[in-house]
Chains A and B, each alone.
Chain A
Amino acid sequence: MIRIENVSLKHGAASILYDISLDIPKGGITALIGPNGAGKSSLLSLIARLQPLQSGKISIDGFPVDKTPNRDLAKIIAILRQDSIVTSRLRVRELVGFGRFPHGRGRLTSEDHAVIGQSLQQFDLTDLADRFLETLSGGQRQRALVAMAFAQGTDYLLLDEPLNNLDMYFSRELMRSLRAIADDAGKTVVIVLHDINQAAAHADRIVAMKAGRIIADGTPAELLTSETLQRIFSFDMPVITIDGTPVVMHFR
């Protein structure tokens, strides 16, 4: 379980997060939604100890993120940042292989190679495995980065807007892959999404943030109502239900 207790964050005088407390139990997909600047990326980077905790506590499976050795955390939790850019000249297979670093400090065993192959396959990258990253489209590169995080083999996976640059087909494929690893492998996925209908269709739980606070939290059916969405995004959008899944008409 990821346990967040009374976490606040400031950059200089500006408050970014206000006293956030949240428990994310093991297993399932939790979608984090909210307008730009709500603090979603900041919260994820605190959970993944990419920036130091200023106040409050965060623990993962009981390990406090600010006191547990970095190496050990890297075997429990993997993160894909929103604006990951890789400047090195690398092939897709090499990049995905870096995900195995926490396990062998760079020496790849046959087991590692098996995991790498499986990640490539899971994210439809087998045909692209020997291509250089800079020769890929933005969406293909994004998938390679997700595959790398998956190859890390952690129980917890934090993904910050992984659908960026993905077309409709691959957005759906990625969400289905995440659904599969959550259901079959018992992984815990926390994902920042802007496409609220993806959250509706694939997430078990939606947590909504606004201006540094959590303002709504529940299953898609509970949370995706016109009133709640109005509260989160400050505009009116009709919600209809198709085959039991809420569909938010935010585009009209």
Chain B
Amino acid sequence: MVDRRLACLGVAALLCILAYMTIGLRGNIGFVLALRATKLAALIQVSVSIAISTVIFQTVTNNRILTPSIMGLDALYLFGQMLLVFLLGGLGYAALDPQLKFSGEVLLLMALAAGLLLPMLKHRIDMGLMLLAGIILGVLFRSLQSLLARLVDPNDFAVAQGASFANFNDVRTDLLIFAAVLTVVGVVIAWRARHVLDILALGADSATGLGVTWSRTVTGFLLLVAALVAVSTALVGPVAFFGLLVVAVAERIVDTRRHAMMMPAAALTAIVILVGGQTLFQHGLGNSSTLGVVIEFAGGLAFLVLLFLGSRK
């Protein structure tokens, strides 16, 4: 039995996808459809990976305000990417197969994320400090990245992403297949772990008491989050507040934190906002490049609201 609210979200997502594929079809229909299908695949992957990674990250850190991108994980990804270009550029790194490079970047991000975040989680530092650390790390890695960008060979530079904000119009389709495999594997792992996530949400002590080995489990989930963040950042660039917005909206729609509900609800909400928004901006409002800005604005507002509500509790 599927929950009614989840079913509504599913129908809404399906309608958005249909609209995205069919509105304003002109010219060589076969060609346009193929082009749209590719971009749609990317948008769905981005939606799902951001939604799932945010839900898991919030559960693992036991908060509703932090997201992987607020903690600077996407900045870390871009930094790692630039670092690889910088260190290996002379060795013909730039000419390597993009999928191979992407796998290297994913692994590097997983290692860096685990190295940075695990100590913070282990010492159970409080939310305010986490937030501060995240902002500082984000700025640090963005600056390091732009420093490295100035140092690398201009020919190599083109390989790394220049963009410092998301562009949903211009997705990296060359990574699509590989990213799809990662996303699907990640989603399967997350779905199978939905009950464990419910238990982790009770906090480290309760989880231990119920037989979940906290540090090993949390390490696994952080690696999963890092891989999913790598997918979305590689495809469209960093998205600061989208995950936060999506999870906050989804939680209010399904009115529970059970992961069997939350994860699909968040993923579907993300698809509705991203694919629906893209359709709206492409056909209704003319300029599709502004979607990123609008989503970030709404997400930023959601962040402030949550912060405000949280501080009053």
Contact = CB atoms under 8 A, between A and B. Distances in A.
Partners in one complex: yes
Interface of A: 45, 48-50, 70-75, 78-79, 81, 84-90, 94, 98-99, 101-102, 105-107, 149, 152
A144 to B, nearest CB: 12
B213 interface: yes
A86 B202 CA distance: 6
Given A87-B201, A98-B198, A48 B209 contact: yes
Contacts, number: 69
Given A86-B202, A88-B201, A88-B202, A106 B209 contact: no
Given A50-B205, A72-B211, A101-B212, 8 more contacts: A50-B208, A79-B209, A84-B206, A86-B203, A89-B251, A89-B255, A90-B258, A98-B199
B210 A99 contact: yes
Nearest to A75: B211
B55 to A, nearest CB: 12
A101 B211 CA distance: 8
B101 interface: no
A99 B62 CA distance: 19
Contacts of A50: 205, 208-209
Given A88-B257, A89-B257, A106-B196, A98 B211 contact: no
Q: Is the interface of A mostly helix, strand, loop or mixed?
A: loop
Nearest to B206: A84
Contacts of B206: 81, 84, 86, 98
Nearest to A48: B209
A134 B196 CA distance: 22
B210 A73 contact: no
Contacts of A72: 211
Nearest to A78: B209
Contacts of A90: 256-258
B5 to A, nearest CB: 14
